[in-house]
Amino acid sequence: MTTGQPPAGGRTILITGASGGIGATLAQEFAKRGYGLALAARRLDKLDAMVPALRAAGATQVLTLELDVADTASIAPAVQRAAATLGRLDIVVANAGIGVLTPAGKGYLPQIQQTLQVNLLGAIATIEAALPILKAQGSGQVVGVTSVAGAKGMAGFGAYSASKAGLHRYLQSLRAEMRGQPITVTELAPGFIDTEMNRGYGARPFVIPVEKGAAIMARMIEDKVGMRWVPVLPWTIVAMLLKVLPAALLAPRQKRA
């Protein structure tokens, strides 16, 4: 679905994983800022249902795209369609992700593979598809959403931690490659933000509402930061402490039935 006209001189943003959680709330934040939006997710019906509210909030245009980033071959055509429809892409946010328990040695290899495919390869493929477009435009910004879980492996979440740590290193390398070029590489690493994805687990230290988390992230994106923990405090300190503290202190546990 496409609504509105391509923004004349307005800013544009593509967000993957935009049908719920942080992605959907980020879409609302950027709508309020008057952006043209391209929203991608597996659940097209949910994206389409969001359009009236986003238009009412101030989005100049809303394009919805059915996309499963696990199917990496489908990503480049979706990114290209977003750029063509919106007129340009100022910001591309690789946000799509999953988080499931994958205790080691208990037959969770399919879930481990899926986690790495979505969180790591899907995010990298999204950014790789965007870079030629941004370079041709002469400017742009890519944003990778990692996690505090990437700072240290957590019991039961080896695949999730590995996927976020891998994306962190990819973004570091990309930032070094883009030095001197007009392309900003931003990494946002949230702590616990209240979303459906993590509500099924136990302790969530320092958890904040998704609306607050998305507002912080939107400001950081517009400020073109390099790498930031979200929110900056307490997670900047916690991330440093994780180097010496047992990971089990922050490892969520699945609730018992």
8: Cβ–Cβ under 8 A, 6 or more apart, which residues? none
C-alpha–C-alpha distance, residues 30 and 8, integer Å: 16
Residue 193: φ, ψ to 5°? -115, 135
Tokens standing for 93? 């946010």
Q: Name the catalytic one among 35, 108, 160, 170.
A: 160
Question: 58, 66 in Cβ contact below 8 A?
Answer: no
> Closest Cα to residue 59, out of 130, 9, 1, 11?
11
Place of tokens 């809303």: 62
Catalytic (active site) residue 160? yes
Tokens of 72: 């990496």
Catalytic residues: 160
